[in-house]
Amino acid sequence: MPQKKESRAVEINPTYIGYARVSTEDQNLQMQEDALLAAGVGLDHIYVEKKSARAKKRPVLDAALLDCNPDDTLVVWRLDRFGRDVLDVLRRLETMEAAGIKFLSLNEKFDTSSPMGRAFLGMVAVFAQFESDVTKARTKAGVTSAKKRGVQFGRKAKVGPEKYDMLLAMVDDSRSSTEIARRFKISRQTVYETIKKARAAQRRKD
C-alpha cells in the first residue's frame, strides 16, 4: 500500500507583510493570497485592495506599509500589483528603502534584500529616469509643434477678444455689471476682470 506524502506546514515569517490587489470586484484574489501564504506571510498580515492599476491613491497599500517596521518585508505576488508604472514603482521603493523596509515580488523573484535585487533596483531607477526624460521631450516637441499650428494652450477665456468691443460698449452705455454678466453668462467678478483686459487691449490698439 503506497504511503501518503506528509504535508509540510509553511513556516510563517513574522517580518513578512503581504499585499494583494485586483482591479474589479469580480476578479479572484485567491491565487495571490495562496502565493503569499506559501511564501510565509501570515493570513492576518495579508492586505487586500480592490483598485484599478491606474488609481493614484491606494489606502490599503498605505496601511500595509504603515504596518511594516524597519527590516520587515512587503511581499507581493507580482510587480504590477504594487505600482502603476515604472516611475510609481521606483518612488514607492525609494520611500520604503529610506524607511528600512524591504520588498519582495514573488513572480519576478525581485528581492531588495539581496545583492541582485539591489542591482535590479538601480536598473529600475535608470529606466524610470529614461522614461521620464522621453515623456518630457515628447511633450515639449508636441507643444512646440502645436503652437506653430496656432493651437492655443491654457484655459479658454469666457469672453474672448472678439467680444471686447461689445462688452466695452455696454460699459459705456452705463449697463450694470449684473446685466453684462447675464448677457455674457459669466460672473460679475469675471466681468470686472474682462473689462480690465478689454481696456488694456484697447490701449494697445491706440
Catalytic: which of 7, 23, 105, 113? 23
52 has catalytic annotation: no
Cell 498580515 -> residue: 45
Bridge pairing between strands 102-105 and 73-76: parallel
The count of other CB atoms within 10 Å of the CB of residue 99 is 12
Q: Give the C-alpha separation, 63 to 164, whole Å.
A: 54
Q: Which residues of 119-155 are buried (b: 16+ CB within 10 A; e: fewer)?
A: ebbeebeeebeeeeeeeeeeeeeeeeeeeeeeeeeee
User: The sheet that has 102-105: what strands, in order across it?
Assistant: 46-50, 16-22, 73-76, 102-105, 110-111
Angle between helices 177-184 and 188-205 (to 10 degrees): 90
3-state secondary structure 63-121: HHHHCCCCCCEEEECCHHHCCCCHHHHHHHHHHHHHCCCEEEECCCCEECCCHHHHHHH
Active site (catalytic) residues = 23
